[in-house]
Structure 1
Amino acid sequence: MTAVPLVPLVLEGDLGPDTVLLTTYIQEGEERLAALPPAPDRTPADRNRAAAVHAAARRARRAFLARHTETVYGLLTDGLTRSVRLPDLVYQAADRFPGLVPTRDQMAAERALVQAHKEGREIDQGLFCGAVLRSPTAGRHLVETMLRPTPRALALLDAFRADGRAELDTVLVTRRGTAAHVEFRNTGRLNAEDERLIGDLDTAVDLALLDDAVTVGVLRGGTVDHPKYQGRRVFSAGIDLTDLRDGRIPFVEFLLGRELGYLHKILRGLLTDPEPGGWTERATSKPWIGAVDTFAIGGGMQLLLVLDHVIAGRNAYVSLPAAEEGIVPGLGNLRLTRHTGARLARQVVLGGRRIAATDPEARLVCDEIVPAHGVDEAVDRAVRTLSAPAVAANRHMLTVAEEPLDLFRAYLAEFAVAQAERAYAPDVLAKVERRWRERERRRAVERSGS
């Protein structure tokens, strides 16, 4: 039996009545979803029915947001007088405008499932975030909110200033002289990006930027436990695809949070003064150095694109395997072109080209290529160079010229929608499932041989 499709929602134009209409419309769609079996048990016909419900609901949400985004954001932030961080913003929107975005309970239910068994409610979060970022007024306010120090960093700041050390779950921050050394320690996973590492890096970058004794930040991978790279430093293996398969890569906190959080803070600086004025009066910005001993893949390479000086060991390589993974590599598409030019950027992003440190093109993303034993010395030398008083001011002006805030905001508005959709695309789900099964087979073989 074929279900009668949801007719398109017709809005009136006023926020109050339109909110009621949207809530009623979304509720009808939820009732239809609830009448279907759980996602893993659905027949092809069931899946088509669910897809039709979600498509109708998303058309309704887009229509509502096209009319009311700035008013909604203004109400959620008391007329732009409150800074509401993105995770809180989406849930406050769910409470105040029922049906506009998923509720906490709905997202908690999703979080318990592997990616392929979810309803894909993060796509609805992406629509909302994209609409907010698309607005010059609301989007800029949100971007600035996410550039402010995290509560966790503020709680740890006094101890870090006193001790020069902060040991987080997956990151170690130590102050040596005037440099804050941020070492990735997600050792069992080749320093891959997971939810813990993203949160720890946001805190670590805040600490380095807030500590007045620090003039330069240094990012480097710690030694790892992987049999192939045992005892060697690895910068980053990129996003943890096992976590993506298992549904543990949250869209708002991770995929958007890393772009609006520590990556953007490294590039543009930490907003420490909310009062109006020039950016140099309101923000704290410092130069950053990256040291790649072995490889920087995916998100690791994206991180290199916001740094001021990149050192690579002679046997190292970088890659941005977006085509292989099937998702969008953050702001890599925007920033890589600036570094390498359009042709090479397409070869890397679309064709999966790997750049070895010995390739001539490596000079477009790395400043120094040194022997493996020379990385420490190169880092010390770069710290001395970038500690010069005029460096911070000039790097800020370079950022203004290369990536104006509104360019960042407009790109991220498109990314929010595209990335949320790609995370649930059939090809992505098939790839991460295949990789997971291959990994499980290898582990079974290793266990049987031990």
Structure 2
Amino acid sequence: MTAEAPEATEAMAGLDADARRDLARLTDDSATSDRTRKLRVEIMDRHADALYDRLTDGRSAHPRLARLMADTARAFPTLVPTEIDQGIFLRGVLRAPDAGPHLLSSMLRPTERALALLPEFRRTGVLETHSVHLERRDGVAHLTMCRDDCLNAEDNRQVDDMETAVDLALLDPAVEVGVLRGGTMTHPRYRGRRVFSAGINLKSLHAGEISLVDFLLRRELGYISKLVRGLLVERDDDWRSATVEKPWIAAVDTFAIGGGCQLLLVLDHVIAGSDAYVSLPAAREGIVPGVSNLRLGRVAGSRLARQVVLGGRRIWATSPEARQLIDEVVEPDEIDAAVDRAAERLRAPAAVPNRSLLNLAEEPPDVFRAYVAEFALRQALRLHAEDVKDKAARFSGRAT
């Protein structure tokens, strides 16, 4: 076993004897063996709350995922040597009765980047980033995904931009409703057309540039959770509600594939062009489609959910099955007018409390927490599975 860093020595000293003894059993030797990983699972089952309290100063700090993992790597390096072990660690934290809710609430806080940009956005009503354009018009925040080079396929950078934009829309008191839509593409096949989203960026995935913490988990616990549950902020009237929530509309042009389809499952009103389709081909790609396995069956029914997730079935907007996923189907040139009508309806004062209670009934926080705990480990395992590695090799043209 290698010598411990000062941070690790100090962190160990703050734990009880049982936790110190269990952690001492972990060594750098055979760090990724099944036996060692089974021991990590046992340690997290027994000591997750204690370890998390040590890392967050008794839950007085509110680190986001990336900071939590960096702190863990310094304090308890033998716990998280690889991404799979990060999945074991985060599964344990999210399952823990005190640590899990605290981490989820920490991820609902506004990002530092959004807070820094808020004064300028409130003044101008415009945010322009590499991946998104956000514009406030007549009380409506129009969030346009504008990765025209890759059909709005998401990567780490786009997730960061999306969370920033969602934070700003929720923080700005002049915004009443949010609209999510894809921008006009320059991709040769769809040049001049709007596209909602092609899902995960497969080029980045197969290049090993899609990470468990900064993409797959941050996306679910960050901006998507904020779309569902709102933003956790401290304010004078937070006794009314701990979060700031707003209704959200999706306008789907051309297609919503993978992560794009996942977004439709959490928004309050979905409008699609009559030529659009949705799909969730994650199983074919070798990964888990976020929290869709929790949400899709509730929205569309168990059988259709299996056909979409396991079989890769496309659902066209005009098909009968699409009624479970899409609220309005209009001609493509009528989407703007449909968005305006929906935004006007969702301005109703009772829209926010009702959508909040609908979300609470449909997806209680403890149900969501139990799901994402298992997702953390299962997705980590899929990222490093042999079939996914084979796809990466074929994609890059380096297969032997």
TM-score, normalising length: structure 1: 0.83
Answer yes or no: is 1:71 the counterpart of 2:61. Answer: no
Runs (4+) of structure 1 exceeding 4 A deviation are 274-278
Distance apart, 1:434 and its partner CA = 2.3
Paired residues of 2:207 and 2:392 also in contact (CA < 8 A): no
Which AA in structure 2 matches 1:70? D
Distance 2:160 2:270 in 1: 23
Distance 2:71 2:146 in 1: 34
Answer yes or no: is 1:431 the counterpart of 2:391. Answer: yes
Answer yes or no: is 1:142 the counterpart of 2:103. Answer: yes
The aligned counterpart of 2:13 is none
SS where residue 418 of structure 1 aligns? helix
Aligned length: 384
Distance 1:175 1:266 in 2: 17
Distance apart, 1:275 and its partner CA = 10
- Deviation digits for residues 341-370 of structure 1, max 9, x if unmatched? 111111101111100011111111010000
The aligned counterpart of 2:351 is 391
Which AA in structure 1 matches 2:132? V
Structure 2 stretches lacking a partner, 5+ long: 1-15
Answer yes or no: is 1:95 the counterpart of 2:95. Answer: no
Paired residues of 2:199 and 2:256 also in contact (CA < 8 A): yes
Which AA in structure 2 matches 1:226? H
The aligned counterpart of 2:201 is 240
1:359 to 319, 323, 330: 319
The aligned counterpart of 2:21 is 17
Which AA in structure 2 matches 1:219? L
Give the % identical residues: 55
SS where residue 220 of structure 1 aligns? strand
Distance 2:225 2:44 in 1: 26
Answer yes or no: is 1:408 the counterpart of 2:380. Answer: no
The aligned counterpart of 1:44 is none
SS where residue 196 of structure 2 aligns? coil
Paired residues of 2:185 and 2:193 also in contact (CA < 8 A): yes
Distance apart, 1:276 and its partner CA = 12
Distance 1:181 1:132 in 2: 35
The aligned counterpart of 1:155 is 116
Distance apart, 1:281 and its partner CA = 1.9
Which AA in structure 2 matches 1:65? M
Answer yes or no: is 1:220 the counterpart of 2:181. Answer: yes
The aligned counterpart of 2:160 is 199
Answer yes or no: is 1:61 the counterpart of 2:40. Answer: yes
Distance apart, 1:57 and its partner CA = 2.7
The aligned counterpart of 1:81 is 60
Paired residues of 1:269 and 1:283 also in contact (CA < 8 A): yes
Paired residues of 1:91 and 1:101 also in contact (CA < 8 A): no
Which AA in structure 2 matches 1:385? R
Which AA in structure 2 matches 1:273? E
Distance 1:333 1:163, change over 3 A: same
The aligned counterpart of 2:86 is 125
TM-score, normalising length: structure 2: 0.93
Which AA in structure 2 matches 1:398? L
Paired residues of 1:13 and 1:67 also in contact (CA < 8 A): no
Which AA in structure 2 matches 1:284? V
Distance 2:397 2:252 in 1: 30
- Deviation digits for residues 305-350 of structure 1, max 9, x if unmatched? 1000000000000000122111100000111111101111111011
Paired residues of 2:83 and 2:212 also in contact (CA < 8 A): yes
Distance 1:430 1:184, change over 3 A: same
The aligned counterpart of 2:5 is none
Distance 1:274 1:54, change over 3 A: farther
Structure 1 stretches lacking a partner, 5+ long: 1-11, 31-52, 103-120, 441-450
Larger radius of gyration: 1
**Aligned ranges for residues 223-302 of structure 1 at < 5 Å?**
223-273=184-234, 280-302=240-262
SS where residue 263 of structure 2 aligns? helix
The aligned counterpart of 1:183 is 144
The aligned counterpart of 2:135 is 174
